[in-house]
Each structure stands twice: as structure tokens, then as C-alpha cells.
Amino acid sequence: MTPFGNKLRAIRAERGIRLKDMAATLGVSAAYLSALEHGRRGRPTHAMVVSICAQLGIIWDEADELMRLARISHPRITVDTAGLSAEATELANLLAERIRKLPPARVTRLLELIKSAPTSPSRRRRTVNGR
């Protein structure tokens, strides 16, 4: 399951909306929506998240949070360690190899440790004209 799928499923259940009804309103199959909730599909497009927010009446901070969760919810992520230290490459490889075997408490501890680390400033996206 992904953070986005988990949150979407919780909101839908909280509001008593059946999966097939929500899927029909969104114009997608119930199978697709179920796969999205369970992390068997890639992260949703921005347009899909906007449609979901509109369907659920989600606005402002809650919509921003759902967008953030969508961005970090790709179930098959690739980590590019080119140019990083050997230790960073080892970490990425060991995590990929062993994540399925980690107990939930250890996953939670690792997640808290990584979230507490300082982040680098976000890179500005450049357009074709460099603006």
C-alpha cells in the first residue's frame, strides 16, 4: 500500500463512498481505483488527484496533503546514487533488498530518522527558455 492509497481509502471509507461508485464518478474502472489504493498502480496524475479532491470535497490544506502523498507514493521507485558515496549506494541497495523483511516497528523508526534529516533546498524547474 502507498501513503496516497492508504489516505484515499481511509477518506472514502470515512465518508461511506463505495469504491465502484467513486470509480464511476471519476470515469475509471473500479479495478484501477482499487489498484491505486493498494499500491499496485503507479502514482496518480495531478489531474486525477484534482478530480479525486473535487469528488470528495477536499480543499486547501487537505488537498495539498493528498497531492504531497501522491508525489511520494510511487510503488516502484528507483534511487539514483550516481555521484554519491559508496555508503549511500550500499544503503540504497540494502534497503531495496531487505525492506520486505523489516518488521513494521523498524520501518517506522527508519522513516522517522529519514524524515528528521535536513533536506536540501528544492531545485527550481527550468522551462525550455531557461525561465
pLDDT digits (tens, 9 = 90+) for 6-51: 999 999 999 999 999 999 999 999 999 999 999 999 889 999 999 9
Cβ pair 70, 36 in contact under 8 A: no
SS (H, E, C) the chain: CCHHHHHHHHHHHHCCCCHHHHHHHHCCCHHHHHHHHHCCCCCCCHHHHHHHHHHHCCCHHHHHHHHHHHHCCCCCCCCCCCCCCHHHHHHHHHHHHHHHHCCHHHHHHHHHHHHHCCCCCCCCCCCCCCC
**pLDDT category, 126, cuts 50, 70, 90?**
very low
Q: Give me the mean pLDDT over the 54-69 stretch.
A: 94
Q: Which carries the bigger pLDDT value, residue 24 or residue 130?
A: 24
Residues 43 and 97 occupy one common structural domain: no
Residues 22 and 54 occupy one common structural domain: yes
Residues 92 and 53 occupy one common structural domain: no
Is residue 125 scored above 60 in pLDDT? Answer: no
Residues 8 and 34 occupy one common structural domain: yes
Q: Which carries the bigger pLDDT value, residue 94 or residue 128?
A: 94
Residues 14 and 57 occupy one common structural domain: yes
Residues 51 and 11 occupy one common structural domain: yes
pLDDT digits (tens, 9 = 90+) for 76-119: 889 999 999 999 999 999 999 999 999 999 999 999 999 998 88
The CATH number given to whatever domain includes residue 63 is 1.10.260.40
Domain that holds residue 105: 86-116
Split into its structural domains, the chain has a count of 2
79 lies in some domain: no
128 lies in some domain: no
44 lies in some domain: yes
* pLDDT on residue 53: 96
Instruction: For residue 121, give the C-alpha cell.
Output: 533546498
* pLDDT on residue 131: 43
Residues 43 and 103 occupy one common structural domain: no
